[in-house]
């Protein structure tokens, strides 16, 4: 059991690194949302593997279901924001979202 937990958490940490790297490096708004998605996948895997390790798989599943619902709402609202920002600025580059800066 400890081997399985160790393997799962190894991949959880790798996925977390990947998601954080994507959030730090990317300028594309859609790609930033993909980074958030990867982070939440790591979160779901961590929840379920912890549930397996402690023998409380049903509680872990209910928490994972809640997590999935939150994730889909975050993605829907984020994509709505991106489409709105694209309509205003004509670009999905995060560096072009500095219109407020020019106002003085």
Partner 1 sequence: MTSYTLILVLMLLFSVLAVISRNMLMAAISLAVASVALTLVLFALSAPWAAVFELSVCAGLITVLFVSAVSMIRKEELFMQEGRMRFAMLPLWLAAFGAGLWLWGGRLGISLLAIPSFREPSGVGVLLWGPRIYDLMGQACIILAGVLVIRTFFVGRRD
d(CA 74, CA 104): 33
Q: How many helices (H) and strands (E) would you count in the chain? A: 4, 0
**What does the alpha-carbon distance between residue 65 and residue 48 come to, in Å, rounded to a whole number?**
11
By CB under 8 A, name the binding residues for partner 1: 2, 5-11, 13-15, 17-18, 21-22, 25-28, 30-31, 33-35, 37-38, 41, 44-45, 48-49, 51-54, 56-66, 68-73, 75-77, 79-84, 86, 90-93
Q: Cβ 14 to partner 1, closest distance in Å?
A: 6
Which C-beta is closer to partner 1: that of 9 or that of 103?
9
Whose Cβ is closer to partner 1: residue 99's or residue 104's? 99
Q: Which residue has the tokens 């004509």?
A: 90
DSSP letter (8 states) at residue 88: H
Q: Name which of 70 and 104 has its Cβ closer to partner 1.
A: 70
């Amino acid at each position: 059991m400890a081997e399985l937990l160790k393997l799962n958490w190894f991949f959880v940490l790798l996925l977390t690194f990947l998601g954080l790297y994507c959030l730090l490096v990317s300028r594309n708004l859609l790609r930033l949302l993909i980074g958030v998605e990867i982070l939440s996948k790591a979160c779901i895997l961590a929840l379920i593997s912890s549930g397996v390790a402690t023998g409380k798989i049903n509680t872990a599943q209910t928490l994972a279901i809640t997590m999935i619902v939150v994730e889909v709402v975050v993605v829907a609202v984020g994509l709505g924001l991106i489409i709105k920002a694209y309509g205003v600025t004509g670009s999905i580059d995060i560096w072009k979202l500095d219109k407020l800066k020019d106002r003085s």
